[in-house]
């Protein structure tokens, strides 16, 4: 589509659960999000684009988890042009990428015959909670005088 188009995605971090061969995404355990974003694709090549979607504050990932990107609405884009980008230089690495369609559980993409893994990543930073230390109210007030 000349001039680009807009579509809507829902981004969240979901939990992981042991599967028969490896950890699998568990959509019933939402760790962060979901956050909804409208994305304007400026290129005609919708199968390869870079987008950045911030997760909500206080999103702390402290164990195995999966990034979930769900197409909510194809918007002004031709649905057949919205594709999935693959790492071109690598073979499919098992247990790394999963895909789910409406009314079906996530399936491991390599086992499903896909040619490569999705190029998606998350930058996360976590801080441990500050412990509550018992003290008197007078001592606390004295710290701020």
Q: According to the model, what pLDDT value does residue 132 have?
A: 67
Predicted confidence band at 33 (pLDDT cuts at 50, 70, 90)? confident
Contacts of 52 (CB under 8 A, 6+ apart): none
Predicted confidence band at 110 (pLDDT cuts at 50, 70, 90)? confident
61 or 118: which carries more pLDDT confidence?
Answer: 61
In the predicted model, what is the mean pLDDT of the chain? Answer: 75
Q: According to the model, what pLDDT value does residue 85 have?
A: 46
Q: Which residues of 92-105 are buried (b: 16+ CB within 10 A; e: fewer)?
A: beeebbbeeeeeee
- Reply yes or no on whether the pLDDT at 104 is more than 70: yes
Output the pTM of the full model: 0.69
- Reply yes or no on whether the pLDDT at 140 is more than 80: no
When pLDDT is averaged across residues 74-84 and rounded to a whole number, the result is 63
Instruction: Round to whole Å and give the CA distance between 25 and 22.
Output: 10
- Report the percent of the chain where pLDDT is more than 90: 3
Q: According to the model, what pLDDT value does residue 48 have?
A: 59
3-state DSSP assignment of residue 91: coil
Q: 78: how many CB neighbours lie within 10 A of its CB?
A: 10
- Report the percent of the chain where pLDDT is more than 70: 68
Burial, 125: exposed, middle or buried (Cβ in 10 Å; 0-12, 13-18, 19+)?
Answer: exposed
- Reply yes or no on whether the pLDDT at 46 is more than 50: no
Tell me the sheet residues that pair with 15: 26, 65
């Amino acid at each position: 589509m000349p001039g680009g188009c807009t579509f809507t995605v829902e981004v969240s971090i979901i939990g992981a659960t042991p599967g028969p061969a490896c950890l699998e995404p568990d959509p019933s355990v939402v760790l962060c999000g979901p956050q909804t974003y409208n994305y304007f694709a400026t290129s005609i090549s919708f199968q390869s684009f870079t987008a950045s979607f911030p997760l909500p504050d206080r999103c702390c990932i402290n164990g195995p988890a999966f990034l979930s990107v769900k197409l909510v609405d194809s918007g002004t884009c031709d649905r057949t042009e919205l594709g999935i980008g693959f790492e071109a230089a690598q073979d499919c690495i098992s247990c790394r990428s999963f895909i789910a369609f409406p009314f079906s559980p996530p399936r491991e993409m390599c086992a499903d015959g896909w040619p490569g893994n999705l190029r998606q990543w998350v930058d996360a930073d976590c801080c441990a909670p500050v412990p509550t230390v018992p003290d008197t109210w007078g001592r606390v007030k004295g710290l701020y005088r």
